Amino acid sequence: MAADYSAHVRADLVKLVANQGALFTCSAYLFARDDIEVARPVLLHAKNLSDTTLL
């Protein structure tokens, strides 16, 4: 779903998802695997993604 949007729109969405905890775990995981400009907020702030999940 989110992959269909431009990186700019995804970057705006990820800012909302990054701090929402377990509510958006699946979305946070997908954004974390996106381009670094999109992934950065999730990688820095999402507390619901473990190192194991990201590896």
Amino acid identity for residue 50 in this structure: S
Contact by Cβ (8 Å): 33, 26: no
Q: Is the pLDDT of residue 53 over 80?
A: no
pLDDT digits (tens, 9 = 90+) for 2-43: 556 688 888 888 888 887 767 778 888 888 899 898 899 888
pLDDT at residue 48 in the model: 79
pLDDT for res 4: 60
Instruction: Note the pLDDT of residue 2.
Output: 52
19 φ/ψ angles, rounded to the nearest 5 degrees: -105, 15
pLDDT of residue 13: 84
Sign for the CA dihedral angle at 1, 38, 18, 26 comes to positive
